[in-house]
Amino acid sequence: EADIYQTPRYLVIGTGKKITLECSQTMGHDKMYWYQQDPGMELHLIHYSYGVNSTEKGDLSSESTVSRIRTEHFPLTLESARPSHTSQYLCASTSTTFLPEKLFFGSGTQLSVL
Amino acid sequence: TQLLEQSPQFLSIQEGENLTVYCNSSSVFSSLQWYRQEPGEGPVLLVTVVTGGEVKKLKRLTFQFGDARKDSSLHITAAQPGDTGLYLCAGAGANSKLTFGKGITLSVRP
């Protein structure tokens, strides 16, 4: 059973608000990821981190930002939410020691921006 | 860009039936994974296949990696309502980054 947690599970907010989606894992994994998932579409990687103080943008351009100050914590922030940000956001983690790599996902945050 | 095509996109079957779904690409992958995602949850890894032609079984689920490591199939024997979910395949390229398909939505009716 995966020990990776995302909060909130659901979020409905108005345009222009600043939001932070939380993701924490207790498995000591060095790699963490944020994916965006929309119905009928591929999971798109928006951010990833290979360790503390290391963050990179993924394949899908995103206006969000991330930080990795602690190994277990990888929050995602939107400074000014817009309706186009409405989506399911999935956080995942893995360890460099897993070969091939296998991802452990959180339950996701369903974000709706009105 | 490596693309993974999954088919069919939707499948609704009766409990007890057998089914096979596919994950195809024109690219070669070093490994390929299948995940199942239930409503309101994140994907959960079912299997990883690495060697061309490899077959792995997980209870009633049989996974096969194509000889050329470009495609994979998932066969479910005697499907049950608990098999309902979104099935995602993901291929690992040379840089180990995963590319996901759009998924197959399976509904098994009691």
The reply to whether residue A102 touches residue B48, judged by beta carbons under 8 angstroms, is yes
| Residue B102 forms contact with A (CB below 8 Å) | yes
Query: Which secondary structure element, helix H or strand E, spans residue B106, and what is its range?
Result: strand B104-109
CB A104 within 8 A of CB A91: no
Q: Does B39 touch chain A (CB under 8 A)?
A: no
Strands of B55-58's sheet, edge to edge?
B5-7, B19-24, B71-76, B61-65, B55-58
Identify the residue among B102, B104, B105 best suited for mutation to test binding to A, counting A beta carbons within 10 A and taking the highest.
B102
| Distance (Å, whole) CA B11 – CA B51 | 28
Q: Is the pLDDT of residue A1 over 60?
A: no
Q: What is the pLDDT of residues A35-79, one digit of tens each?
A: 999 998 999 999 999 999 999 998 887 889 999 999 999 999 999
How do residues B5-58 score in pLDDT, each as one tens digit?
999 999 999 999 999 999 999 999 999 999 999 998 999 999 999 999 999 999
Spacing of C-alpha B29 from chain mean position: 14
Do B9 and A40 count as a contact with CB atoms less than 8 A apart? yes
In this structure, which amino acid lies at residue A9?
R
User: Which residues in chain A touch residue B102, judged by CB atoms under 8 angstroms apart?
Assistant: 40-42
Question: In chain B, which residue's Cα lies nearest the Cα of A108?
Answer: B42
